Structures are given as structure tokens and as C-alpha cells.
Structure 1
Amino acid sequence: MTLIVFDIGNVLLRWDPQAAFRHAFASDAEIDALLDEVGFYDWNYEQDRGRPRAEAVAAIAARWPEHAALMDGYFDRFGLTIRDRIQGSWDIAANLKVRAYRLWALTNFSADTWPAARHLHPDLTTLFEGILVSGHERMVKPDREIFDLLCTRADAAPEQCYFIDDSASNVAGARAAGWQAHHFTGPEGLHADLRDRGLL
């Protein structure tokens, strides 16, 4: 195994989408009601797939015009949603890098919000040899094509890749593409799996 590939959201950075809306609501329950009403997670997934901000806001405005300005503001306030690191994962990645493993990242992320992640956490770009961002490529996990693309970019065979992701469906997608994979639930479990595989 020569390539270790990290997801970013909820593996290295906690993603708290409610944080972008707390200025406008009295409770997270009210925010959750809004997110449910507009189908936030499906809506956001289309940005991960490459839909630009203007089209995303237009899609909201067409059905929920009263929420269009608030949802547009999500892009401006996105940095609030990824402030916190999962430090144990960063420590593991640093340990792997010291051991001379090749590290890449593969993330479902909008091209419009990715600059905020790079600005807030500039060491993402120094930790990894390469980062594949779904919104730039217009393809998403768990689709096979994005795993194949990373193998091509990194010049690695699928069986050489070990993938870490908090989404069970993304882990299944990686395994279907011939990768080994770990379903991330916390740094302790990741460390144990890496140790069991002889990587740490």
C-alpha cells in the first residue's frame, strides 16, 4: 500500500453547517427545520458535484424565494462551518507523513467554498501531495469515476490505495473501485485500523 487518502470534512475538519445560520435563528432546532424544508443536504451535494453558486441560489429562489438571501449567505459564511479541527486525525496524518507514506486528500467540496477551507487551514496544501476536490472535477464520491481519477493523477493502482472517510457509502464506493478503506468514526478507531494493517 503506497497511497493513503483522507477525506476532509468530518475526518480532518468538523463540518457544522448550522454555524452559517446561527446569526439568524434562536436555536439549532429552527435551523434544522429550515435545512429540512429546503433539502439542504441534497442541495449542497449538487454544489459538490460542480453546480456554481449562482445556479444553486437560483434553485432555492425558484421554490423558496423567501429563503434565497439566507441560503446565498451560506457561501459567504461558510468559513464558520469548518473552524474546528479533528486534531487526532491531523496527528495521525503527520505521523504517516513522517513515515514517508504518500498522502492525498479526496473531498466532496464545492468549488465556491473550497477557497475558504484553504484560507482557514493553509496547511492542508502542505500536508498532502495532492487534493482532489469534487467541485473542480464535476464528479463526486461515491461514484467510481472520481476514485479512478485520483489513481490516474497520483499514478497509483487501486490496490495500492487506502481510503479514510466518515461516509459509509463513500467507503463502499472506494472498495468497489478496488481500494482498501476505513469507515472513520474517530481518530482512535483510525489509529487502531492503521496499526492492525501495519501502517503505524
Structure 2
Amino acid sequence: MIKTIIFDLGGVLIDWDPQHLYKKIIPDKQKRDYFLENICTSDWNDCQDAGRPLAEGTQLLVDQYPEFKNEIQAFYGRWEEMLVGPIQSTVNILEAIHRGNNYSLYALTNWSHETFPVAQERYDFLQLFSDIVVSGVEKMKKPDPGFYNLLLEKHSLLPKQTLFIDDNLSNIKAAQALGLQTIHFKIDDNLEEQLRNSHSIIF
């Protein structure tokens, strides 16, 4: 029986994507994709999510690619433009689960501690969670098993009674290895149906 549901945030509840910003800065798709796949990469951003200061990460790239200085500095200088709003269908489900009051609700997110306060101020639904564990604060991130265990142990959660929802397959596999039940979230899937039929979640 599921007693606890853990949500990822970016890509599940919040529409965050560097493309939202860089479509404005680099209109040419081929050049934009090159920039995001080779310079301001996901791996580079992950380091900031794991606690590296934004200024340090930015300067590291500027030193390597001075010809892209303006584009690199925009990543965090205009970071809020990557954050375009809630994924409302999922937020509606979160709110319904919260109203039902049958499950403990937590969030586990890879997010810089310097930018996360922006999301907290912008999105009231984040207050529905009993706790949000942020990678940049803890200096560890998914899919590190220690990051999951931090939340599980902090709140005495049993993995077999816990459902974890994330859009990243690597994060899902790490959760499964720890014994959590999981849903690999995809924006086009019917999350409500998966919750009700596959995991017997009542809301």
C-alpha cells in the first residue's frame, strides 16, 4: 500500500527548459542545439544543481569559450525566462491528492540553491509538500542513492510504501534499485490513470 508520494519538480510540475530562453538568443536551431549540447550542457548545469556556485560555473565556461561570453552569461543571468510556468495537468493532480489527505507528499529535485527561491516565490503549489529536498542545498543530486536516502531517512519513509514520479529515466532506475515504486513521467501520458489503475492511488 502506498503511503507516500514523492514528486520531481522540473519537467513534472514545472515547465523549465533552456530552449525557452535560447530560442530568443540563438534563433537558428542548428546553432542553438550546438550551443546547448556542447557548451552550456546538461552535465555543466548539473554541477550547479549539485551546489557549485552559479558565478563559478559561469566563469569556468567563459574562460573556455570567450567567444560565447554573452550567451553563457545569459544562462543564469536570464534564467527566469527558462521557467515558463506550471505543468497544470500535473499540478491539478497534486492538488487533488493533497485535498484527499490520504498520502504524505514530498518533492526531491535537482535544482540550484541559488535559483530555487525563485520557484518557491512564484509557485504557491510548492507549499503543498511536507518537505522539498533540494540538491543544491544538500550538495548531492539524483541519481545518487544517497540523495534519495536522505529524504527517506529524514522522514522515516519505507521504500516499498513510497511512489516516486520523475521524468528522467536514470532517476527512475536509481529509485527502483532502492525499492521504491515508480512512475516514469511523460508529458503525453495519462498520469491520473497510471496513479489510479497501476498504483491504486485514491484522490
Deviations 1:83-130 (A, max 9, x none): 222111011111111121111111111112212212221331x12111
Alignment of 1:98 onto 2:104: no
Report how far residue 4 of structure 1 moved.
Answer: 0.3
TM-score, normalised relative to structure 2: 0.91
Of 116, 119, 129, the residue aligned with 2:118 is 116
Report how far residue 39 of structure 1 moved.
Answer: 5.0
CA-atom RMSD in angstroms: 1.7
The one-letter code of the counterpart of 1:162 is L
Structure 2 matches for 1:16-165, cutoff 5 A? Answer: 16-100=17-101, 101-124=103-126, 126-165=127-166
- 1:2 match: 3
Contact kept in structure 2, 1:165 and 1:184, CA below 8 Å: yes
Distance verdict in 2 for CA 1:120–1:76, change over 3 Å: farther
Deviations 1:3-35 (A, max 9, x none): 100000110011220223344323343322211
TM-score, normalised relative to structure 1: 0.92
Aligned length: 199
| Corresponding residue SS for 2:143 | coil
| Corresponding residue SS for 2:164 | strand
| Corresponding residue SS for 2:26 | coil
Contact kept in structure 2, 1:110 and 1:136, CA below 8 Å: yes
| Corresponding residue SS for 2:94 | helix
Contact kept in structure 1, 2:91 and 2:125, CA below 8 Å: no
Distance verdict in 2 for CA 1:28–1:117, change over 3 Å: farther
Contact kept in structure 1, 2:62 and 2:72, CA below 8 Å: no
Which segments of 5 or more consecutive residues in structure 2 lack a partner in the other structure?
Answer: none
